[in-house]
Amino acid sequence: MNRIKLLLPLFAIFFVHCIAVNAQVARPGYNTGKGFFVLDGKLYDASGAEFIPMGANTAVFWQSEANAMKSFPDMKKAGANCARIVSVTSDASNSWSWQSNFTRQKACVKACVDNKLIPILEFHDVTCGNGYETDAENKNLKRVVDYWCSANLVQLCKDYEKYLIVNVANEWGPTNSLYRDGYKKAITAMRTAGIKNTILIDAGGCGQNPTTLINYAQELLDFDPEKNILFSIHFYGLWMTKESNKQVWQYYVEDYLQKFKDKKIPVIVGEFGWTGAPDNFTLYDPKKIISECNLQGIGWLFWAWNSNPNETYYDIVANYSKGYTSDADLTEHGKYIVQQFKDNAKEAVSFLATSSSTIELNQESAIKIFPNPMFSNVLNVEYQNIESNSIRQVQLKNIFGSTVKNIEVNHILPEQLVFDQVAAGTYFLHFKGDAVNYSTRLVIAN
């Protein structure tokens, strides 16, 4: 059959895909913010483009300031599109933590935005607490809500409203209606204080109990005058994937991700670890968690980018004091997760106004490629007046936006690109730099 006829359906798919990718929704009239918003079970950024968070927790508050702050540029380099900033309030009991003050918390949020990562700021003070105003272990939710409603934090939310997602408290809440009632009080207090950002609420039962979301998520979403609530589930000991038999008290990941999707509950997986953790915390298949989230269009955040070098099952980087330069700096599963970031995570469209410019390649461009269409596996590249360190990465993406080939450029511009075992079709080729990106459509006809 004629090759051109074979390629016509691909071009049709390409144009439909472009429309879908660039589609933006209008902010609902009841939402008076200027940042992220929730609609019909999905999260949208300030531009109205759907955003699926893919990143990791960065356990900054128990590390040195230098080690913690390098995590933000490193996570961006790894391809993540967001970072959950694991923090503590300025309560006197947290004085041991370098980050237990507003100035440093703001610096972390700013570092995320500067690196075009969506910041998700949370406070760990009331983990596994159950009371709102009083709690047997002094883990009452109100103490964190009061901190959010302080003048400095409210101003931080306003200053970074376009990007910042507000995760009220890590893993607070009982598994009954007191969870709902406590978060209604929190929503009222925070909205009254002037916080209009998307509010992220962890599931009850130390973040793991899915029935708190099944039973109360929609009611909490409806209760919020901004209707701008996102929810988070954490996968640890109560969770299993279906390649293994679960205990009667456990839940299957696949079943509940589907239930959340069916009920249009706006949810992300806020924490999960790799196999090997003690106390049977991670007996599931973490690759299955990632694949199911990707299939359902549900965001996911690994625990963690940089937790503890002695607990590799909770780390992406092998040694957070060294940081990330190449795959050699990652744990074995960290290499898998980083590749998932690079293949699937999409930068928030709301960053485009401050992102590097993109130039579409043509005959007069500083980069020329040939032949196009390709009838072999080798693509030739010519560069004119381009410095060798101006291109950091070359990516081949299919028409659905997934990365098919990723080539890191280390100071030597590649004059030939080899695309072995790449199926015939229409692709996008991106030359990515710090200041300028170059992009073109590439047809592989072999």
The residues, any chain, with a CB within 8 Å of residue 423's CB and separated by 6 or more, are 444
Of the given ranges (3-7, 241-245, 267-271), which has the lowest mean pLDDT? 3-7
**Residue 361's pLDDT is what?**
73
Nearest C-alpha neighbor of 381 from the set 425, 422, 335, 416:
416
Matching residue, tokens 């997760």: 337
**Residue 10's pLDDT is what?**
41
* CATH number assigned to the domain covering 33-352: 3.20.20.80
**Residue 9's pLDDT is what?**
43
pLDDT at 407 over 50: yes
**Residue 91's pLDDT is what?**
93
**Residue 358's pLDDT is what?**
64
CA neighbours closer than 13 Å in the CB half-sphere of residue 189: 19
Of the given ranges (19-28, 39-48, 318-327, 377-386), which has the lowest mean pLDDT? 19-28
SS (H, E, C) 143-189: HHHHHHCCHHHHHHHHHCCCCCEEECCCCCCCCCHHHHHHHHHHHHH
Strand 165-167 and strand 378-383: the pairing is: unpaired
Helical axes 71-78 vs 102-114, angle rounded to 10°: 20
Average pLDDT over residues 327-335: 97
Give the containing element (helix H, strand E) for 219.
Answer: helix 211-223
Give pTM, 2 decimals: 0.77
> Cβ of 245: how many Cβ atoms within 10 Å?
7
* CATH number assigned to the domain covering 3-17+356-444: 2.60.40.3080
Is the distance from CB of 122 to CB of 99 less than 8 angstroms? no
CA distances from 428 to 180, 231, 258, 399 (A): 46, 34, 32, 7
SS3 call for 323: coil
CA dist., res. 235 & res. 395, Å (int): 32
Residues 174-205 pLDDT 10s:
999 999 999 999 999 999 999 999 999 999 99
**Residue 233's pLDDT is what?**
98
Report residue 390's pLDDT band, with 50, 70 and 90 as the boundaries: confident
Nearest C-alpha neighbor of 337 from the set 277, 255, 272, 404:
272
Q: Higher model confidence: residue 84 or residue 323?
A: 84
What are the boundaries of each domain within the chain? 3-17+356-444, 33-352
Residues 275-286 pLDDT 10s:
999 989 999 999
Report residue 352's pLDDT band, with 50, 70 and 90 as the boundaries: confident
Residues 251-268 pLDDT 10s:
999 999 999 999 999 999
pLDDT at 288 over 60: yes
CA dist., res. 2 & res. 9, Å (int): 13
Of the given ranges (9-18, 214-223, 365-374), which has the lowest mean pLDDT? 9-18
